[in-house]
Amino acid sequence: NAGVTQTPKFQVLKTGQSMTLQCAQDMNHNSMYWYRQDPGMGLRLIYYSASEGTTDKGEVPNGYNVSRLNKREFSLRLESAAPSQTSVYFCASPGQNTGELFFGEGSRLTVL
């Protein structure tokens, strides 16, 4: 039982390149979330998916797109990466009754 799995763990991009971060959860949860974490800023919500087939913007959605591929998988895409998107990205999924968030190990992205 892996919980929340993210790939890749590390990535270096050049400005303007695109890439997709993948997230999968094996807990049969309905909703999934993408956060970014920056020094001095704390964790901020990018996008979330309340259920399969739905997505909604969070606090900092600009420059990102998401896809809820099925109940297990939720991907985050950077179409044209910018240095300001250098960050650690976390995928998370809340327990159905408790609301506690289960986080993945993070994807560390550097945009040069």
Partner 1 sequence: EDQVTQSPEALRLQEGESSSLNCSYTVSGLRGLFWYRQDPGKGPEFLFTLYSAGEEKEKERLKATLTKKESFLHITAPKPEDSATYLCAVPRLVILGSQGNLIFGKGTKLSVKP
Interface residues with partner 1 (CB under 8 A)?
4, 30-31, 33, 40-45, 48, 50-51, 54, 56, 58, 90, 92-94, 98-106
Q: Residue type at 33?
A: Y
Q: Specify the residue, 35 or 81, whose C-beta has the smaller distance to partner 1.
A: 35
Q: Specify the residue, 44 or 77, whose C-beta has the smaller distance to partner 1.
A: 44
Beta-bridge mates of residue 67: 75
Residue 102 CA to residue 27 CA, distance in Å, equals 10
Smallest distance, partner 1 to C-beta of residue 25, A: 12
Angle 17-23-24 (CA atoms, 0-180°, nearest 5)?
155
Smallest distance, partner 1 to C-beta of residue 93, A: 7
Look at the chain and count its residues.
Answer: 112
Q: Are 62 and 80 in contact (CB under 8 A)?
A: no
Q: Specify the residue, 12 or 41, whose C-beta has the smaller distance to partner 1.
A: 41
